[in-house]
Structure 1
Amino acid sequence: MFQPPGQQQTEWKPRTTLGSMVLAGKINSMDQIYENGMRIQEAEIVKHLLPDMKNQVVHVGIVQKQTDAGEMTRFNALVAVGNEAGWFGIGKGKASQMRVSIDKATNAAFLNVIPVKLGCGSWECKCNQLHSVPFKVRGKGGSVTIEIIPGPRGLGIVAGENIKSLLKLAGLKDAWTKSFGSTNTMSSTTKAIFNALRSTYSVG
């Protein structure tokens, strides 16, 4: 199969025992990894078990620092990954080049993937399909607090564009949201969403 230049798939050579088990087919789902409390140290493990993962650059910032050699510019990237079906992760990366900072952040997001429990917790719906959260969840990041409230089918996600795109990446189709604090700070907002989605398991 032809691939454009720069898109060639390099062969994965696992560096960890877990990676070797995944490649050998001894572990064939992310659920197995989480049920056994295993730690993921290679992004390729997630890519192998969840090949439909998508990534989204949430924010790229520029940090300029004065040094003896002059002004040094570095990029801070924040990336979210998800398969739109119950897996979601966020990661940060820093580098002197924008592309490298995004690649680092993407890799970190894969290592930070969590399961998101989907369900139908809306009293208006009760369809028992996996389209919303099973109950109200709340997450905090910095000065930002996000509440995600189960919504009936067909509602869509009632939120600003940035929050909506992240919840879709996690697999939500319908939900009400409430946000408190400076939601323009995307690093805090993204962390609040991550913590809220993580509590779909820790609370339930």
Structure 2
Amino acid sequence: MSQTTQTKPAGKGGPGGRGGSGGRGGPGGRGPPTYGGGKPGGQTRRPRREQEEEVWVPKTILGKKVAAGEINSIEEIIQDGLRIQEAGIIKKLLPDLKSEVVDVGIIQKMTSNGQSTRFKAIVATGNQNGYLGIGQGKSKQMRIAIEKATNQALLNVSPIKLGCGSWECRCDQKHSVPFKIRGKGGSVTIEIIPAPRGLGLVAGGKIKRLLELAGLKDAWTTAKGATPTMNSTSKAILDCLKQTFSQG
């Protein structure tokens, strides 16, 4: 009497199944191998491309002088009354600048072809040690608007004279402004008063961040007008801090 043996069909985890010995992405599976150390059976990943930094090629006479090492500071450019037209000049003279997006928004208007939508961005750049620049950019894409604003902020970088103008402190450290200053931008008027060391920055959120990028650690501030409008507020702050260098 002959015995019959029954064979079980290959399951999902068998040699001929979907998983094989290594899951869907292993040998015998259906998926291709993963990249970048991905888990077996995961989705295919393409290797990341590292973003290459563009090499600055000076186009203006001032840019060529800076690249050649004939000019080593922004103060020399301002004293000679020259105009900075290339952002690469600022990056060359101040390699430690940090950029930060201050405000973003949407601009909508009706045209003959329908509703048009654009993005706007305000970017501030500074090294937290006496230099600050603020710029604005607009474009149909947010990324391009931020790039335009960053480039404009670099062109608007101005030196700021730090000091201690507080009668309560009278130290020789550069932690505040040397004297009382007032600046205006649109309907916004901002006043910065020297403060003793250790007080901190008495200011609102975004105004405080701009002062930190400039390098201030202690100061009293007062603001009047439509301060939520960052376009006017940022201009008022930059106009205010420029006076420390021009009047000092």
**Do these two structures clear the TM 0.5 threshold for a shared fold by scoring above it?**
yes
User: Are 2:110 and 1:66 aligned?
Assistant: yes
Give the SS at the match of 1:15: coil
Shift of 1:23: 0.8
From 92, 102, 109, the equivalent of 2:153 is 109
Give the SS at the match of 1:74: strand
Shift of 1:6: 5.2
Aligned to 1:51: 95
Aligned to 2:235: 191
Distance between the aligned counterparts of 1:92 and 1:176, measured in 2?
A: 27
Distance between the aligned counterparts of 1:167 and 1:28, measured in 2?
A: 25
Aligned to 1:36: 80
User: Are 2:196 and 1:175 aligned?
Assistant: no
Alignment gaps of 5+ in structure 2: 1-47
Give the alignment's Cα RMSD to 1 decimal.
Answer: 1.2
User: Are 2:205 and 1:129 aligned?
Assistant: no
CA change 1:145–1:6 in 2 (3 A) is farther
Alignment gaps of 5+ in structure 1: none
Distance between the aligned counterparts of 1:128 and 1:199, measured in 2?
A: 20
Partner deviation per Cα, 1:37-80 (whole Å, 9 max, x = no partner): 21100001001110010111111110112223322211111111
Give the SS at the match of 2:210: helix
Distance between the aligned counterparts of 1:85 and 1:138, measured in 2?
A: 20
Shift of 1:126: 1.0
Aligned to 1:100: 144
- The code of the aligned residue for 1:184 comes to P
Distance between the aligned counterparts of 1:88 and 1:101, measured in 2?
A: 20
Shift of 1:149: 0.5
CA change 1:124–1:25 in 2 (3 A) is same
Aligned to 1:153: 197
TM-score (norm 1): 0.95
Distance between the aligned counterparts of 2:50 and 2:123, measured in 1?
A: 21
Give the SS at the match of 1:187: helix
From 26, 29, 33, the equivalent of 2:70 is 26
- The code of the aligned residue for 1:193 comes to I
Distance between the aligned counterparts of 1:61 and 1:108, measured in 2?
A: 17
Q: Indicate the structure whose relative CO is greater, using CA pairs within 8 Å and at least 6 residues apart.
A: 1
User: Are 2:94 and 1:79 aligned?
Assistant: no
Which structure shows the higher strand fraction? 1
Identity in percent: 63
